[in-house]
Amino acid sequence: MKKHFLLFLLCLATNASLTAQETLRENNGEPTLVERLSNGEIKINSAEMNFQLFTSANAEFVGNELDGMNFKLNRVRLEIKGDVGKWLGYHYRQSFNKYSDPYSLDNLSSSLELAYVNLKARHNLNFTIGKQFVNFGGYEYYVNSIRVREFSEFNNLLTAYQAGISGNWQVNPDHELCFQIVNNRNGNDEDIYPTGLPEGTAKAKIPFMYTVNWNSYYLDKALQLRYATAVGQQTRKRYSYYFTCGNTYEKGPLLTYLDVMYTRQGIDQHGVVSRLPGTPHTAMNTEYLSIIGDVDYRVHPQWNVYVKGAYETARVYKSNGDFRKGMYRRSWNAQSSVEFFPFKQLDLFVFVLYTYRGVILEKAATRMGAIEPDTHRISLGLVYSIPVF
């Protein structure tokens, strides 16, 4: 039964994964390009490919009414990573759920999440060059997204992968500092602000984002802190600022975290406030706050339960155009899930998840014609990271 179940899952993986395995067997024993160019002095120390699948059947509700049911492949990704010699690493990850045409700024599709090399200058200093993870703080943001059933609205709106360069300094075994310069956007302003830039703004000539990230461990690594601050230029004289922090405690069967995510944006890059009017148009001077709490408990080696909640706000800190100063929107996201791990040696589990999202629109929003009902969802799904090689 177990063998048949595994064969069924592997058939879902796509022919590309099977072709890669066949090609690998055909070339087994043949020197790689790196080994040829270095006359055998440099060898590939490690290579890993995995296929990540997150799929679910969903029942969607608006208010108390059933809105529809569907099967959805929430995330499908192919990842390749490894090391060449002692000083060079690489990481490539492709998503099959995202827009595929290249953006104009970085000349890459958003479906290509990661494409970088890691240069290890010293035992405690390395540099990452290419499309990489933007170093914001927070556990929900940082953890592999294949393990997140439902993101908070704040993290769902962040552009998590950008082209650039970063340096990581391992100060000591328990403290790490990261410095990064990446693009603040992938494409043109029209791609980021669909309703156009506000009047009187001009595009930035250097649309970069600068991040500083501090990661630390305490209590024999049971307590982990991930704090970061960032500033990015949006247009001339308009900037976005971020302060993000994650506080995680993990020991034995317990994993719990509290994240605080805040941004102040000269132009509404998140777009939540801009979409509130009956006729959407781009707002300026917006602020977003998200507080995320989660408790995971492994009640049995094969069973995990978790509850998670997020409280989020959207406001305008300075009047502009039709947007008056004040609070516009508050929302709650509550989740509860039971997860079953049928095979000890496999990174596979099935889950049942209930998600609720409630929204309170303040007077400033309802005055502009905003309408946003509460929503519910019940999901039955499967998550599997399939090791190809």
- 257-286 confidence digits (pLDDT tens): 999 999 999 999 999 999 999 888 999 999
Give the C-alpha separation, 387 to 112, whole Å. 20
Amino acid found at 350: V
Out of 30-34, 69-73, 106-110, 298-302, pick the least confident.
30-34
The single residue listed with the structure tokens 């975290």 is 257
Confidence of residue 3 (pLDDT cuts 50, 70, 90): very low
At 125-143, the pLDDT tens digits run: 999 999 999 999 999 999 9
Token pair 């890993």 is found at 48
284 inside domain: yes
Residue 273 is assigned to a structural domain of this protein? yes
- Those residues whose C-beta lies under 8 Å from the C-beta of residue 22, and which sit 6 or more positions away, are none
Query: Contact, 343 vs 382, CB < 8 A?
Result: no
Q: Is residue 87 assigned to a domain?
A: yes
CB 259 within 8 A of CB 143: no
Quick check: 333 and 148 in contact, CB under 8 A?
no
Give the span between the Cα atoms of 4 and 249, in whole angstroms.
38
Percent above pLDDT 90 for the chain: 70
Q: When comparing pLDDT for 282 and 8, which is higher?
A: 282
Residue 174 clears pLDDT 60, i.e. is over it: yes
The answer on pLDDT for 33 being more than 70 is no
Q: What is d(CA 378, CA 376) in angstroms, rounded to the nearest whole number?
A: 7
Q: Is residue 1 part of a domain?
A: no
DSSP helix/strand/coil, 385:
strand
Determine, yes or no, domain membership for 17.
no
Per the model's pLDDT, the better-predicted residue between 204 and 324 turns out to be 324
Strand pairing report for 44-62 and 326-340: unpaired
Report the 10 Å Cβ neighbour count for 149: 18
Residue 136: CATH number of its domain? 2.40.160.10
What is the Cα 24 distance to its own chain's centre? 31
161-182: average pLDDT: 97
Range of the domain at 220: 46-387
Instruction: Name the domain count of the chain.
Output: 1
Angle at 95 between CA 16 and CA 119, to 5 degrees: 95
- Rounded CA-CA distance 178/139 in Å is 16
- 147 to 12, 27, 176, 243, 383: CA distances (angstroms): 19, 34, 24, 24, 8
Q: Tell me the per-residue pLDDT of 370-380, one tens digit each, with 9 for 90 and over.
A: 999 999 999 99
Higher pLDDT among residues 29 and 332, named by residue: 332
* pLDDT for 345: 84
Rounded Cα–Cα distance for residues 296 and 3 (Å): 30
Tell me, what's the pLDDT at 32?
58
Write out the DSSP string of 134-166. -----HHHHS-GGG-SS--HHHHHS--EEEEEE
Distance CA 266, CA 257 (A): 30
Query: Is the pLDDT at 109 greater than 80, yes or no?
Result: no
Burial class (CB in 10 A: 0-12, 13-18, 19+), 265: buried
Band of pLDDT at residue 107, cut at 50, 70 and 90: low
pLDDT digit string, tens, across residues 197-217: 888 888 888 899 999 999 999
pLDDT, position 234: 93
Indicate the length of the chain as a whole number: 389
Q: Can you give the pLDDT at residue 1?
A: 47
Average pLDDT, the chain: 88
**Three-class secondary structure of residue 17 per DSSP:** helix
pLDDT on residue 104: 57
Q: Among 142, 145, 179, 181, which residue's Cα sits nearest to residue 163?
A: 181
CA distances from 127 to 42, 137, 179, 215, 375 (A): 20, 19, 10, 16, 43
- What pLDDT score does 34 carry? 53
Asked if the structure places residue 25 within a domain, the reply is no
CA dihedral 155, 102, 208, 288 (to 10 degrees): -20
Which amino acid, 235? Answer: T
